[in-house]
Structure 1
Amino acid sequence: MQKLFVLCSIFMLAFSLNAQKLDQKIDSLILSKFKEADGPGGIFMVAQKGKPVYQKAFGMANLELDAKLNTNSVFQIGSMTKQFTAIAVLMLEEQGKLKVSDPISKYIPSYPNGNNITIHNLLTHTSGIRDFTKMKTLQDIAQKEMTPEQMVNFFKNEPVDLAPGEKFEYNNSGYVILGYIIEIVSGETYEDFIKKNIFDKVEMINSYYATDRKIIKNRAYGYHKKDYGYVNKTVINFSVPFASGSLMSTLDDMLKWQNALNQNLLLTSKEETKAFSKYTLNDGKEIEYGYGWHLKNINGIATREHGGSIFGFKSMAVYIPSEDIYVLGFSNCDCNSPTQLVKDIAKLSLENMTVK
């Protein structure tokens, strides 16, 4: 019995020392990028088996008020919004209200070539339509309150870049259309649908459709970096990015989201698998994208990844299904992308963490 106790103690000590070393390695990686303690910064999490094993904040949440970031800070997550839009579409499919094989003309009859563009094409960025973020006229509407229909009308008559299914071309317009279809099919606003069917159900109590007007506790403020220093982020109306990039969240809430997906709390396993499957183009070539997630790998081990970028903010998450490791990073200056950093932390975590 005594020998068993000693062995257990040695094991626990070794495990503790290994965890400390991993923390130090992660700290070192982050501090090589986020060097300014008095500038905008970032917050990071590593979770395993659904629980955080590393969670730290670096830098400031508000430069004017000298307020530091903390691990509960609320960030705009940009294009990570697409995960929620994709799952919302699959929820409606599971309810029998739409099919991903449906042409978008079924819901938006006036859409050009809508008979040949499917919901699947929108989800996989293979629609070929013009990305509104690349349009020079975007600045004309960036601060206007736009309905989903107005947003679709803004880009729908633009010349197409490709034929549907010809090529993977990352496309924000497609996810704006998906948000509009969610509203048409559900009879609710996109904001209300996401809140009621995802945020409330998963108890993501600090996640929101983005706003600059409402009082949001623990809000991180966004910044740009100029030659002469930092400035407050450019103001946009969030009805413009809409379902392609207008959500806000926290580290803890995003972990709840990941856990809900793992536990099939929102969709059956069969339906949810569609989000994490690779698809092919017209010529049979496979693309590394499912519905709302890039499907990549680290040293041959499959990952699900997505980042986000919106004025003043950048975000990135990597999930490793086989090890149930989730790595997440948010930055409140678009001068400081956490993308490669989160990938490096995920690789480091994979090399140092053993699932028991």
Structure 2
Amino acid sequence: MLFFFSSSLIFAQTLEKRIDDVILKEFSDAKAPGGVFQVTQKGKVLYQKAFGKANLELDANLHADYVFEIGSMTKQFTAIATLMLEQQGKLSVNDPISKYIKDFPNGDKITIHHLLTHTSGIKDFTKMKSITTIAQKEMKPEMMVDFFKNEPVDFAPGEKFDYNNSGYVVLGHLIELISGDSYENFIQKNIFDKAGMNHSYYASDRKIVLKRASGYHKKESGYVNKTLISFSVPFSSGSLMSTLEDMLKWQNALNKNILLNSQETEKAFQKYRLNNGEEFTYGYGWHLKDINGVASREHGGSIFGFKSMGVYIPSEDLYVVGFSNCDCHSPTETVRNMTKLALENINRN
């Protein structure tokens, strides 16, 4: 019994040290913007640490409970919100978007499913040169949709998978049209409140957000404050904020079917096929990959001043999340490598 306890303690200490080493490869400067990281299994925190500064001007350290902009991890919430409306009988993922937006070009051939899976062929607004003309403007959802809807399409719906922010902006617009509520309110009432995510928000640079991490860019001359953006532009494709603890609550709410029944939830986590029958590795709001041969659900995010990454291993109920408050540091490979170490630790024990 004593030997078992001692061995477990040594393994735990070894895991912590090994994870520290992985993180410090990218986040080694204690005086620079940094990141926060967490590993949980079956809801229990195995690792949680913060590295670097939350605010350079105040010389304030980061802490693990600070609030970060999560960028495209927002797409998970938009996808689940869409499935909630389907569960309520208010839409079908097979509906053409012309059912709700009458004048959308080719809207009778583009379905909600195409938007969710990045297979619509709609032009991604983040790749349009004219994006700079609206980046700091307050845009209504229909204005955002009008900004890109008449651009030439990249391919016919269902022909290929091509990661696309525009599709998720259209989904946010549909959520508002169909629910009769704003996207921000819908997410707050139907997801954040139900999951107990008390420190998650639709982003704003004007609202006072307790324990908000400041965002940074890195230039040749050093670090600078992040470029301001109107969050109405990324909208439902990338404008949410959260914490490590709240993201665990999010994962637990999905697992326990607090937000959706199991049949509807499963739609988010299955692989789909293109028109030619070829399978691709994206569900609704998650990349479906594997790490060391073990199935994973993954998604990262990037927005001015911030980057994020989350990996979930369903077979082990293992969730690894990392946030960075400088878009010069990507937590993607760090989080994936942390996941590999955690899996090795689980197999060893």
Amino acid at match of 2:63: N
Which residue identity is paired with 1:98?
L
Aligned: 1:46 with 2:43? no
Partner of 2:343: 350
Matched position secondary structure for 1:45: strand
Describe the superposition over 1:55-92 as per-residue Cα deviations: whole angstroms up to 9, x where unpaired.
00000000001111000010000000000000000000
Is the contact between residue 47 and residue 326 of structure 1 (CA under 8 Å) also seen in structure 2?
yes
Q: Specify the code of the residue in structure 2 equivalent to 1:142.
A: A
Mapped to 2, the partners of 1:51 and 1:171 lie a distance apart of: 34
Q: Distance in 2 between matches of 1:50 and 1:83?
A: 19
CA distance in 2, matches of 1:251, 1:123: 25
Distance 2:293 2:91 in 1: 35
- Matching of residues 65-84 of structure 1 within 5 Å: 65-84=58-77
Matched, 1:146 2:146: no
Corresponding letter in the other structure for 1:61 = A
The aligned residue for residue 93 of structure 1 is 86
Offset from partner CA, 1:97-134 (integer Å, 9 cap, x none): 00000000001010000000000000000000100000
Superposed CA RMSD: 0.9
2:50 matched residue in structure 1: 57
Q: How many residues in Structure 1 have an aligned counterpart in Structure 2?
A: 349
| Among 6, 14, 20, the residue aligned to 1:27 | 20
Deviation at 1:50, TM superposition (A): 1.2
Q: Match of 1:248?
A: 241
Amino acid at match of 1:245: G
Map of 1:5 onto structure 2: none
Deviations 1:300-336 (A, max 9, x none): 2100000000000000000000011100000000000
Q: 2:172 aligned to 167, 179, 189, which one?
A: 179
Q: Which residue of structure 1 lines up, in the alignment, with residue 296 of structure 2?
A: 303
Q: Structure 1: which amino acid aligns with 2:301?
A: G
Is contact 1:45–1:56 with CA below 8 Å preserved after alignment?
yes
Please tell me whether the aligned partners of residues 26 and 345 of structure 1 are also in contact (alpha carbons under 8 angstroms).
yes
SS at match of 2:315: coil
The match for 1:326 is 319
Greater CA drift, 239-248 or 10-19: 10-19
Match of residue 120 from structure 2? 127
Which of 207, 212, 230 is matched with 1:214 structurally? Answer: 207
Deviation at 1:9, TM superposition (A): 2.2
SS in 1 for 2:168: helix
TM, length-normalised to structure 1: 0.97
* SS of aligned partner of 2:336: helix
Question: Partners in 2 of 1:10 and 1:354 — Cα distance?
Answer: 18
Q: How far 1:299 moved relative to its partner?
A: 1.9
Indicate which of 90, 103, 128 corresponds to 2:96: 103
CA distance, structure 1, for counterparts of residue 83 and residue 45 of structure 2: 28
- After TM superposition, what 4+ stretches of structure 1 lie above 6 angstroms from structure 2? none
Structure 2 unaligned blocks of 5 or more: none
Query: Which residue is 2:224 aligned to?
Result: 231
Quick one: which amino acid aligns to residue 23 of structure 1? E
Instruction: Tell me, yes or no, if the aligned pair for 1:323 and 1:355 is still in contact at 8 Å.
Output: no
Q: How far 1:354 moved relative to its partner? A: 4.6
Q: Partners in 2 of 1:202 and 1:354 — Cα distance?
A: 30
Contact 1:78-1:308 within 8 A present in 2 as well: yes
Q: Is the 8 A contact 1:221 1:332 kept in 2?
A: yes
- Consecutive unaligned residues of structure 1, counting only runs of 5 or more, are 1-7
TM-score norm. by structure 2 comes to: 0.99
| Counterparts of residues 194-213 of structure 1 (less than 5 Å) | 194-213=187-206
Task: Give the match for residue 169 of structure 1.
Answer: 162
Which secondary structure state, in structure 1, belongs to the residue aligned with residue 25 of structure 2? Answer: helix
Aligned residues: percent identity? 69
The one-letter code sitting in structure 2 at the alignment partner of 1:303 is S
Q: Matches of 1:41 and 1:300 in 2, distance apart?
A: 30
Distance 1:327 1:152 in 2: 34
CA-CA distance at 1:164 after TM superposition: 0.2
Distance, in Å, in 1 between the alignment partners of 2:168 and 2:86 is: 16
Number of the residue aligned with 1:339 = 332
Counterpart AA for 2:19: I
1:11 offset after TM fit, Å? 1.1
Q: Cα deviation per residue 1:170-214 (whole Å; 9 max; x = unaligned)?
A: 000000000000000000000000000000011100000001001
Instruction: Give the secondary structure class of the aligned counterpart of 1:297.
Output: strand
Q: Give 1:355 shift.
A: 9.8
Helix, strand or coil at the partner of 2:223: strand
Structure 2 SS opposite 1:153: helix
What CA distance in whole angstroms lies between the structure 2 residues aligned with 1:320 and 1:355? 17
Distance 1:320 1:9 in 2: 31
Match for 1:315: what amino acid? S
